[in-house]
Amino acid sequence: MGNRKVVRDTETGQFVESGEAKKRPKTTVTETVTTPSKKKKKAS
């Protein structure tokens, strides 16, 4: 599993770039999203 940081606008919920978050820190939020691994375990 990997973790990835994404930035969202708090008013619209749309994803924005990290540079935009630095310009408007009061109206953006940074979230950490866990991405599932691509390998599936074999059932026994």
Is pTM beyond 0.75 here?
A: no
* pLDDT in the model for residue 5: 92
* pLDDT in the model for residue 42: 73
* pLDDT in the model for residue 35: 86
Per-residue model confidence as pLDDT tens digits over 1-44? 689 999 999 999 999 999 998 999 999 999 999 988 777 777 76
Domain map (residue ranges) of the chain: 2-35
Q: How far apart are CA 34 and CA 42, in angstroms?
A: 22
Query: In terms of Cα–Cα distance, which of 30, 27, 35, 36 is closest to 6?
Result: 30
* pLDDT in the model for residue 36: 83
The dihedrals phi and psi of 27, each to the nearest 5 degrees, come to -115, 15
* pLDDT in the model for residue 15: 94
